[in-house]
Every structure is written in structure tokens, then in C-alpha cells.
Structure 1
Amino acid sequence: MLLLKDKVAVIHGAGGAIGGAVARTFAAEGAELFLAGRRQGPVEAVAEDVVAAGGSAVAAEVDVLDEGAVDRYLRSVTEQAGRLDVSFDAVGIPNAEILGVPLTDLDAERFALPITAYTRAYFLTARLAARRMVERGSGVIMTVTALHSRTGIPLVGGYGPAMAAKEALTRALSAELAPLGLRVVGLRPQAMPETRTIREAFQPRAEASGLTWEQWQHALATRTHPRRLMSLDELAHVAAFLASDRASGLTGTTVNLTMGSLDD
């Protein structure tokens, strides 16, 4: 039986590696998809993949930091589909000017950028989705963080505090929304080679460390229990389970997908 049969899901940041992988897996599990992103092209490409594989997906260009734009978009989704069952926040921001800079050399604006952008995106998508879900007394709100939320990592600027803030927001949202029938959950993966984030983390360190791309991946993999890094497909399959009714007992938590490199 399909995990997400007849579920209506919105994925913000659907044009990125994580958002695209989650979209394809959600569709394979039977979800009706509405895909949003800052640029139409990448989102449209994911939607075309989903439709070509026999799924249902509609792409849209939405500025997730614009409250009015997100509200109008979700209104249009519920008008078309009749309801909203899952809201997935896979929004990312460019980190090229942040990563690799010591905190003592980082100006306040660049430090605050990821904290402000990531938390605003998650807050707006969650709050505006919740308003639609509360009417039906059910729904799942989801986001993605990183192990930076729980452990100190050098040269990542405000990225760690941003991830910690998102996980705190997951707990706060659940505390308020769970009594109304909604679940709020997060996923915390580590260094998936197919994503842009791990490349951006490697590039500023490459010259200083002398490590090749392959050596960099190996160094990260040795910290995990199976001595390998997680794939996008693995994350997406966990996301589909969390979004499904089979995960009804999970809320107010962020699932640790660091494969043992971060102890709970």
C-alpha cells in the first residue's frame, strides 16, 4: 500500500537536491504534489520528472520569504486540491560568502543571514500551512536541519545557530499544534554527497587542508557508524514515512539521520 495515497503535499525548495528527492519519493508513494521554489526552472524540471514517472505535480515560483506570496500560494493550492495534508520545508540559501570565514572575521550581517532566512522561511511556511490544516484537524509540517544544530563545527558562521533555531521551532510548533491534530517533525541528515551544501563546505577548506573531494567525503564518512554517507534516496524514504499516517506517534522531534556521527 502506498504510504501517501490521496495526500496533498506542498514542498518548498523543491528545485533543490533535497526538495527534488523528497518530491519524487512522495509522488511514488501516491501524493498529489504542489512544488514551489524561488526559481521556476529547477522546480519545473522536478515536476516534469514526477509527471513523466506517472505522478501528479504542479510547479510554481514562490518567494518563501514573502509572507503574502506564500499565503496566496497556499490559498491557491487549497482551492485546487481542496485541502493540504503535508507541508515540507526544504528551503536553502547560498552559503558561499559565509562558510570558511572565522567568526572573528565575520560581520554581523553575514552571521545573521542564515539565522534570519532559514527561520523565517520555516516559520512562514509552517504557520500559513497550519492555518489551513487546523480546519480539518490533521496535517504534517516538516523541515530539514543538519548536525550543526547539536555540535560545534568551525567556519560555518551562523549556520549552526540557524539549524538549532529550526529544531527549537519544531518543538514549539508541535506543543501548540499537536492538541489540534497536527504533527510537526524534522529530519537531521549529515553531508549527503549529492547536495550543494557539502560541496560548499568543502571548497573553502580544500586549499587550506590539501584534501581532495574524495578525501573530504572519506573523512566525513569515517565519523559515521557504517563508515559511509547517507544518500538522498535514504533521506527521502524516511521523509515519506514521517509524512504518512504510520508515523502518527512522532511529533515535536527531529529524527537523527547522521548515521551515528551524532549521538542522541
Structure 2
Amino acid sequence: MEGQAVLLENKTAIIYGAGGAIGGAVARTFAREGAKVFLSGRTLSKVERVAREIVAAGGTAQAFQVDAMEERAVESHVAVVVEQTGRLDVSFNAITAVPQPGTQGIPIAQLSVDSFTAPITTYMRSHFLTARAAARRMAEQGSGVLLMHTPEPARLGAALVGGMGPAWAAMEAFNRNLSAEFGPKGVRAICVRSSGMPETETIDVVFGLHANAMGIPREQFQGFIESLTHRKRSTKVSEVAEMAAFLASDRGSGMTGTVANLTGGLIVD
């Protein structure tokens, strides 16, 4: 709103996986808060749709087709952004590139090596490439924020998640390492941890896989998970996006090398 202070005025942000529910919500919120957002994803049409919505709402957005698993593509895209704007203030990686069928809802004793390691190698490769590319530029300018999204199995022991839990835990460990190395150069690194969000297509599939494995309806499994939280509900996508905007802003300057816990009491720190 005109005349109202915004969190990310004059900030430049890249959002990976911007065509998805989480990435799209973060992109819209960043733009609403004044950031110039550069949206990327493997399916250009999905990213372009989000960019059009942002522009129609009065924001600034550009869409790019970028495979966050490819080193050259990531480096080239970051170079384009910095060339256009002169800086890079925020990098948020929201990719969900691992197919859940075949990796979740299967007992560890029955899981293949490839199915177990797929989430670990995929998530870590993508987050390493995007964080490294951004951190290099941020360190040169003396400021910046690296953000990642990690669901609750990163911290909470859970059955039938295969390599997903270890993958998300590795991301949180990587986040701490990024903070330790780049913090002295003005770069912050933070994970936003949520519970499963039924609003996303991904978690809808996951809940179904776990429910089938347990022989119960999908709605019953979701209800069980939500009953473990203090609020008796799942994290909302909008809550992740709003927290990401705050953490990316100068108001969140005291946080780095840590996790913003949005699990609603499912995990108590």
C-alpha cells in the first residue's frame, strides 16, 4: 500500500521453484514487500504465471527457466540478475524435485539404495549450487540472506520417510555451515521449518502414501499429524511466506545459522 513501510524495499531476490505452492507464495509476498523478484523453475509456463500475477498486482518480477540441479544454469542466472540490478540480497530455494512415490511410505528394510539416496543427493546438490552462487556475490557486497525450507522430519524422527528426513537434516546442517563461513562477510543463512502443508500438491501425495502404508484414510492420517501440534492444525503456506519475508528483511538481522520453527508445537525447541 502506498505510503506504508515495506520489509524488502529495494531488495533483489531470487526464488527457485517459484512455480510451486511454496515458491509462488514466497515470490508474491516478497514482491508485495517491495522486492524485485527473479523467479526460476524448470517449467517456464508455471513461473511465468506467477510473474504475471505479481506484475498485475503492481510488483516487479521476471521469469526464467532454470534447472537448479545444473551448475552452469544456476551460475548464469545469478550473473544475469546481478548484471541487471547490481546486487543480490536474498536467495530462497523452494524446489521439490524428488518424486515421493518410491521414496516415502516404504519401510526402510524394503527401500532400495537408490530410492534412499535420491532425496539426499537431489536436495543437497540443488541447495549447494544455489547457495554457493548467491553467497559468492553476497560476500562481495557485504550483505545477503540465504533461505531454505525444511519440513519437520529434519528434526523429528518419523517412520516411512526414507531418505527425506536425512536430506532435510543435511540441509539444516549445511545452513549452519553457510552461516559460519559467510556470516563474518555479512551473509545470513536460515532455514524455515514447517509441518506438512495440505495446501501443497506434494504433501497431499505424501499424506496419501503414508495413509496407504498404515491402512487408514488419508484424512485420518492428516488428522493424526495435526493432533500432535499445539494448535491442532498444519502450517499454512502463507505463514512460511510471511516468515521468509521477515527473515529476509533487515528486521530479521539477529537471526542466522538457525531454524525458524513454524511447526506449531509439533517440534518444541
Q: TM-score, normalised by structure 1?
A: 0.97
Where does residue 50 of structure 1 map in the other structure? 54
Instruction: Say whether 1:12 aligns with 2:16.
Output: yes
User: How far apart, CA to CA, are the structure 1 residues paired with 2:218 and 2:208?
Assistant: 9
Instruction: Say whether 1:99 aligns with 2:104.
Output: yes
Structure 1's consecutive aligned runs of 4 or more residues displaced over 4 angstroms after TM superposition are none
The answer on whether the counterparts of 1:7 and 1:86 sit within 8 Å (CA) in structure 2 is: yes
**Residue 135 of structure 1: SS of its match in structure 2?**
helix
Instruction: Say whether 1:28 aligns with 2:32.
Output: yes
Indicate which of 23, 41, 44 corresponds to 1:37: 41
Letter in 1 for 2:32: A
**Residue 141 of structure 2: SS of its match in structure 1?**
coil
The answer on whether the counterparts of 2:160 and 2:210 sit within 8 Å (CA) in structure 1 is: no
Instruction: Please report the RMSD computed on the Cα atoms of aligned residues, expressed in angstroms.
Output: 1.1
Where does residue 267 of structure 2 map in the other structure? 262
Letter in 2 for 1:74: V
Aligned length: 264
User: How far apart, CA to CA, are the structure 2 residues paired with 1:207 and 1:257?
Assistant: 27
The answer on whether the counterparts of 2:152 and 2:194 sit within 8 Å (CA) in structure 1 is: yes
Indicate which of 150, 165, 169 corresponds to 2:174: 169
Where does residue 135 of structure 1 map in the other structure? 140
Indicate which of 63, 74, 77 corresponds to 1:73: 77
Residue range with higher mean Cα deviation, 192-201 or 172-181: 192-201
Residue range with higher mean Cα deviation, 81-90 or 217-226: 217-226
> Alpha-carbon deviations, 1:120-167, whole Å to 9, x = none?
111110011011111110000110011111121111110000000000
**Residue 143 of structure 1: SS of its match in structure 2?**
strand
User: How far apart, CA to CA, are the structure 1 residues paired with 2:153 and 2:201?
Assistant: 16
Structure 2: gaps spanning 5 or more residues: none
Where does residue 86 of structure 2 map in the other structure? 82
Residue range with higher mean Cα deviation, 194-203 or 62-71: 194-203
The answer on whether the counterparts of 1:224 and 1:260 sit within 8 Å (CA) in structure 2 is: yes
**Residue 199 of structure 1: SS of its match in structure 2?**
helix
User: How far apart, CA to CA, are the structure 1 residues paired with 2:56 and 2:185?
Assistant: 37
Percent identity, aligned pairs only, is 52
User: How far apart, CA to CA, are the structure 1 residues paired with 2:78 and 2:213?
Assistant: 45
TM-superposed CA distance for 1:241, in Å, is 0.2
Structure 1: gaps spanning 5 or more residues: none
The answer on whether the counterparts of 1:144 and 1:186 sit within 8 Å (CA) in structure 2 is: yes
The answer on whether the counterparts of 1:242 and 1:250 sit within 8 Å (CA) in structure 2 is: yes
Letter in 2 for 1:16: G
The answer on whether the counterparts of 2:105 and 2:213 sit within 8 Å (CA) in structure 1 is: no
Indicate which of 54, 60, 64 corresponds to 1:60: 64
* 1:204-215 alignment runs, 5 A limit: 204-215=209-220
Letter in 2 for 1:215: Q
Where does residue 245 of structure 1 map in the other structure? 250
Where does residue 185 of structure 2 map in the other structure? 180
TM-superposed CA distance for 1:210, in Å, is 4.5
User: How far apart, CA to CA, are the structure 1 residues paired with 2:56 and 2:36?
Assistant: 14
Letter in 1 for 2:251: R
Q: TM-score, normalised by structure 2?
A: 0.95
Where does residue 225 of structure 1 map in the other structure? 230
User: How far apart, CA to CA, are the structure 1 residues paired with 2:210 and 2:158?
Assistant: 13
The answer on whether the counterparts of 2:17 and 2:23 sit within 8 Å (CA) in structure 1 is: yes
The answer on whether the counterparts of 1:99 and 1:200 sit within 8 Å (CA) in structure 2 is: no
User: How far apart, CA to CA, are the structure 2 residues paired with 1:104 and 1:86?
Assistant: 40
The answer on whether the counterparts of 2:16 and 2:93 sit within 8 Å (CA) in structure 1 is: yes
The answer on whether the counterparts of 2:210 and 2:221 sit within 8 Å (CA) in structure 1 is: no
**Residue 230 of structure 1: SS of its match in structure 2?**
coil
